Amino acid sequence: MIATTAAPGRVPVPAGRNVRRRRLLVLGGLSAALAVAVVLSVAVGARPVPPADVWHALTAPTGTENDIVVRSLRLPRTAIGVMAGVALGVAGALMQGHTRNPLADPGLLGVTQGAAFAMVLAILALGVTGPYGYIWFGLAGALLASAGVFALGMAGGRGGPTPVTLALAGTAVSAFLYALTSALVLLDEQTMDIFRFWQAGSIAAKGPDVAWQVLPFIVAGLVVALVNAPGLNALSLGEDVARSLGRNVTLTRAVGITAITLLTGASVAACGSLAFIGLIVPHLARPLSGPDHRWLLPYSGLAGATILLLADVIGRVVAHPGELEVGVVLALAGAPFFIVLVRRRKPVRL
């Protein structure tokens, strides 16, 4: 029997259709919010650009200063912000779902520290100083670190890695790589300066080449994440129930970790460490989407991109004519916001 809802004198409408309609409306609202954030990111900065000039730069550029600012600086920065926000939002939702830990974030798999260690090693040993070079080392380090965490999580287990073993292995690998990275940056002042700027987290001073480099990995990660959503829904009912439904638990976790690694690794390698996006965004999206990861993942991606762009705009405004790095703004706003969220809301059970 399908539940129906109807006002007096109207044809009953299936309840499932109402739920789908509401979810589509929320998806449209989040998309509109992201569009507003994109416009603000392109128009607001140390040099304000009127909307008419923004439109002129996008449609019929003539080489004016505003055209150069919009096309050469603001658009690549905004594009990287959207990609990083979507990637970290989706990765955070996946991470919390697979570990069943509401305090988990993508860095729990050692991805952030793996990228940091590989980049510092490339700068110190190979003399790589530009983002176009060390971004590949960062991505490789993220992939290797997450593979090591997954291997440690499987060690000694018969049924594959569990949320507890993954969390413990990720914590151990992150701590070890952090110690190695700290030791390396102390050896060279130039390496420390480059690493310090990268670690603060920034989407500024990134050209279109960086966006094109990370785009294939983020697209691949999003595709894998969407493929993983039905299996993650089954896992949320418990591993025994998931197995009874015909799900391969180990394969489902491996697919999810692959998506997390691709998304987080590409974002971290391009922008540095951007805290709180992957931690907070799923908590904001889950009350809107419910436990269904087929909706939670796109909600988290759109919300993550919107929050990241707005944080970047705030960083440009509050420190005018200079600017605060977006990672600093996220840390300053994210910590108290998360405390308020935990105190005022009963955490959603994962």
CB 335 within 8 A of CB 276: yes
Per-residue pLDDT of 12-53, as tens digits, reads: 445 567 888 898 999 999 999 999 999 999 888 777 788 888
CB 282 within 8 A of CB 296: yes
pLDDT at residue 11, rounded to an integer: 42
CB 150 within 8 A of CB 222: no
Q: How confident is the model at residue 158 (pLDDT cuts 50, 70, 90)?
A: low
**Based on C-alpha coordinates, what's the Rg of the chain?**
21
Per-residue pLDDT of 226-258, as tens digits, reads: 999 999 999 888 888 888 888 888 899 889 988
Per-residue pLDDT of 72-128, as tens digits, reads: 888 989 999 999 999 999 999 998 888 887 878 887 778 888 888 888 888 888 877
pLDDT exceeds 70 at position 8 = no
pLDDT averaged over the chain?
83
276: alpha, beta or left? (left if phi > 0; alpha if psi -120 to 50): left
Q: Which two tokens stand for residue 17?
A: 């259709």
Length of the chain equals 350
Regarding predicted confidence, which is higher, 244 or 350? 244
pLDDT exceeds 90 at position 346 = no
pLDDT at residue 214, rounded to an integer: 87
Per-residue pLDDT of 309-337, as tens digits, reads: 999 999 888 877 778 888 888 888 877 87
Superfamily of domain 35-57+75-344: ABC transporter involved in vitamin B12 uptake, BtuC (1.10.3470.10)
pLDDT exceeds 90 at position 207 = no
For the ranges 194-203, 214-223, 250-259, the lowest mean pLDDT is seen at 194-203
CB 335 within 8 A of CB 66: no
Q: Compute φ and ψ for 13, nearest 5 degrees.
A: -115, 130
pLDDT at residue 259, rounded to an integer: 92
At 138, the amino acid letter reads G
At 46, the amino acid letter reads A
CA distance 30 to 297: 13
Neighbouring residues of 312: CB distance < 8 A, sequence distance ≥ 6: 41, 77, 81, 203, 204, 326, 329
Query: Is pTM, for the whole model, over 0.85?
Result: yes
